[in-house]
Amino acid sequence: MFVLVCPCILNPSLRAEGITKPSDIDGFNQSIKRCEKFGIEIFPLPCPETLYLGLKRKPGTFLERLNTPDFTSMLDLLELKVHEVIDTRGYPLFILGVNSSPTCGVTTTYYGNPGNELPKRVGRGVFLARFPTIKAIDVLEFAKYRIYLAAPLFTEAERIFNTLIVELLEKNLFEVYVPQDIGDNSYKRDDIEHKRIFESNKKGLEDADIIVAIIDGSDADSGTAWEMGYATALNKPIIALRTDFRRVGKHELVNLMLEQSATIVRNQSELLKKLKSPLLFDKAE
């Protein structure tokens, strides 16, 4: 199990001067950690821009700097080398790219502005575009993999369902913080233990990239509602799973404040789609 990774994710000095922000470095590092945590081997792609323009280069679009026969010929050779890797190692899970890059953009690329067009356009960079059957994921999207599972945990049925969701998420390469795993699963607690659990869960929310909340029942669990409220104050994205077919009002599946603070999904398949699981599709979308 391996992924093809644009080399500047591993070595940001390969990028054009002045474009790398601290948030980029953090995203690169988190993506590498995600691969390491789930045993995904990283195989670096070549960097066409560095090979053609050198390390010390200013930012530029494809049309400004790379739209030459020599660069096209070089891409032809690099493409063959990548296919040799695939022939030897098998099909990669996906390509980890860097959005906006003229060569390695995933959903956006700085192509240039012929006529009155904007220099940044939708689509892959010119190098990744040569591998249309391999799914590509932007590195900063892939970096968002730490999930806090907010859910009731007071009955055996609730804890079993929570475990099922955790296993589903981990199978799809997400790291999950689960309150029931840190001791929040028993009425035999004193004030010191209450404080420890509160602080641990609060930090778990603060460290998470995404909150997944289970909101089944005639009314959402009060602890889950608090966690959703705190996550909203932290500007964390919330995806709320409600498999319960009941409604609380004519226009609401659940309490209005909870519904407006989250994206509601109705089953596990919808949950994985909203989380943009990297394993959902074998080929490029």
Regarding whether 124 and 13 lie in a shared domain, the answer is: yes
pLDDT at 266: 94
Establish if 104 belongs to a structural domain. yes
Regarding whether 132 and 23 lie in a shared domain, the answer is: yes
Q: d(Cα 128, Cα 5) in Å, to the nearest integer? A: 11
Establish if 284 belongs to a structural domain. no
Long-range contacts of 51-54 (CB under 8 A, 24+ apart): 51/78
pLDDT at 283: 44
- Whole-model pTM? 0.91
Which candidate, 157, 147, 167, places its Cα nearest to that of 239? 147
Q: d(Cα 210, Cα 152) in Å, to the nearest integer? A: 18
Regarding whether 161 and 41 lie in a shared domain, the answer is: no
Regarding whether 138 and 6 lie in a shared domain, the answer is: yes
Regarding whether 138 and 15 lie in a shared domain, the answer is: yes
Regarding whether 178 and 104 lie in a shared domain, the answer is: no
Establish if 27 belongs to a structural domain. yes
Contact between residue 12 and residue 24 where contact means Cβ atoms under 8 Å apart = yes
CB proximity list for 281: less than 8 A, separation 6 or greater: 135
Strand (E) or helix (H) holding 23: helix 22-37
3-state SS record for 158-185: HHHHHHHHHHHHHHCCCEEECHHHHCCC
Establish if 221 belongs to a structural domain. yes
pLDDT at 255: 83
Regarding whether 268 and 173 lie in a shared domain, the answer is: yes
Regarding whether 237 and 124 lie in a shared domain, the answer is: no
Contact between residue 7 and residue 99 where contact means Cβ atoms under 8 Å apart = no
Per-residue confidence of the chain (285 residues) as pLDDT tens digits? 999 999 999 999 999 999 999 999 999 999 999 999 999 999 999 999 999 999 999 999 999 999 999 999 999 999 999 999 999 999 999 999 999 999 999 999 999 987 777 899 999 999 999 999 999 999 999 999 999 999 998 888 999 999 999 999 999 999 999 998 877 666 667 788 889 899 999 999 999 999 999 999 888 889 999 999 999 999 999 999 999 888 776 667 788 889 999 999 999 999 999 999 999 864 444
Q: d(Cα 66, Cα 204) in Å, to the nearest integer? A: 45
Which candidate, 214, 149, 210, places its Cα nearest to that of 178? 149
CATH of the domain at 178: 3.40.50.450
pLDDT at 184: 60
Establish if 285 belongs to a structural domain. no
Domain containing residue 8: 2-142
Regarding whether 136 and 75 lie in a shared domain, the answer is: yes
pLDDT at 248: 74
SS3 112: coil
pLDDT at 188: 65
Regarding whether 193 and 126 lie in a shared domain, the answer is: no
Which candidate, 132, 40, 45, 50, places its Cα nearest to that of 82? 45
Establish if 227 belongs to a structural domain. yes
Regarding whether 234 and 138 lie in a shared domain, the answer is: no
pLDDT at 218: 80
Angle at 102 between CA 101 and CA 103, to 5 degrees: 90
Picking from 142, 166, 192, the residue at the C-terminal end of a domain is 142
Regarding whether 121 and 172 lie in a shared domain, the answer is: no
Number of H helices, E strands in the chain: 11, 11
Picking from 142, 163, 183, the residue at the C-terminal end of a domain is 142
Query: Buried b / exposed e across 246-267, counting CB within 10 Å, b at 16+?
Result: eebeeeebbbeebbebbebbee
Domain count of the fold of the chain: 2
- Tokens encoding 207: 């460290």
Establish if 283 belongs to a structural domain. no
Cα dihedral across residues 85, 90, 91, 96: positive or negative? negative
Picking from 110, 142, 174, the residue at the C-terminal end of a domain is 142
Establish if 282 belongs to a structural domain. no
